[in-house]
Amino acid sequence: MPPAETYRHITVRPEPEGFGAEVTGVTLRQPLSPEARAEVMRAWAQHCVLAFPDQPLAHEELEAFTLQIGPFGEDPYVKPMPSHPNILEVRREPDEKSRTFGQAWHSDWSFLDTPPAATLLHSKVTPPVGGDTLYADGYRAYESLSPTFRRLLDGLHAVHSARRSYGLQGTFATDPEKRAMDIITGESAEASRSHPLVRVHPLSGRRALYINPVYTIGIEGMTEPESKALLDFLFARMLEDRFIYRHRWRQHMLTLWDNRCTMHFADGGYDGHLRVMHRTTVAGERPVGVQ
């Protein structure tokens, strides 16, 4: 557990390993003071995933708080709310049969040239069972590897693409089940882009594994079997229980997480119940590796 941080304007209750924390003592419906915002940003850098309970937010208030974290990010392949182009409604009706949206380990839009730095998710309708979100800590997973292995990984680049999910033959294009969400698929998702396999965080300076099973399709310079063997080993390491934080939602709760050093998984378990979440992203920068 890292040393406890001191805060004057917010209250922070970290998870036992310091990965994930609950923040109280602040109201997100109005602009944060410069001091409170600075402490929120410091807590976010320390704990990677923040949960703000008891925060009923109108659309405009969610947008305003997002902009206090940073400018809106790009959100391809899911149509936003008609009157709020920066908010996605993550909705699942009680009678839906398709797989839960986000029910695979991923880092949001890692296939973009500049993937989003942050994602914010606000609970509007919370089912009585299920619906947890799991997060994996890319920092500690990387730090758990041997120095020799870390040096090898530091020089590699991973290939990312949206093709498995949003491509012409991707999961969403071939899913026959009806969804409440309006998913976009097409040829643009077939493109690929390389990023450093080990990403250096622009604020903390820490190194994290920057890969995920949904969008990472290979490693530059390696054959497919070689890439698969290495990625499978790294995914298994990242998903060890010691690196996982399970977040349990409550009504009107908002979470803020860092896509640059985490990946996440939307758990199901609430078939027969309505679930509605509103989601925004914050623009990021081009990933930078070890120099």
Question: What pLDDT, in 10s, does the model give residues 163-220?
Answer: 999 999 999 999 999 999 999 999 999 999 999 999 999 999 999 999 999 999 999 9
94 occurs within a structural domain: yes
Structural contact between residues 235 and 142, judged by C-beta atoms closer than 8 angstroms? no
Per DSSP bridges, beta strands 157-161 and 192-196 are antiparallel
pLDDT at 9 over 70: yes
Beta strands in 28-132 (DSSP E): 49-52, 88-92, 118-125
Range of the domain at 108: 11-282
Please give the pLDDT value at position 45.
97
4 occurs within a structural domain: no
287 occurs within a structural domain: no
Q: What single letter denotes the amino acid at residue 233?
A: F
Q: Which residue has the tokens 């998984």?
A: 265
115 occurs within a structural domain: yes
Please give the pLDDT value at position 239.
98
Please give the pLDDT value at position 5.
76
pLDDT tens across 84-103, in order?
A: 999 999 999 999 999 999 99
Please give the pLDDT value at position 226.
98
6 occurs within a structural domain: no
Q: Which residue has the tokens 């008609």?
A: 82
pLDDT at 73 over 70: yes
Q: What is the total count of domains within the chain?
A: 1
d(CA 41, CA 203) in angstroms, rounded, equals 10
Mean pLDDT (whole number) for 226-246? 98
Buried b / exposed e across 217-231, counting CB within 10 Å, b at 16+?
bbbeebeeeebeebb
* CATH code, domain with 176: 3.60.130.10
Q: Which two tokens stand for residue 95?
A: 């009678």
Burial of 212 (0-12, 13-18, 19+ CB in 10 A): buried
199 occurs within a structural domain: yes
Task: Determine if residue 33 is left, alpha or beta; phi over 0 gives left, psi from -120 to 50 gives alpha, anything else beta.
Answer: beta
SS3 state at 187: helix
The angle formed by the CA atoms of residues 287, 289 and 290, to the nearest 5 degrees, is: 160
Give 249's pLDDT tier (boundaries 50, 70, 90): very high
290 occurs within a structural domain: no
Residue 60: what are its φ and ψ, rounded to 5°? Answer: -65, -35
2 occurs within a structural domain: no
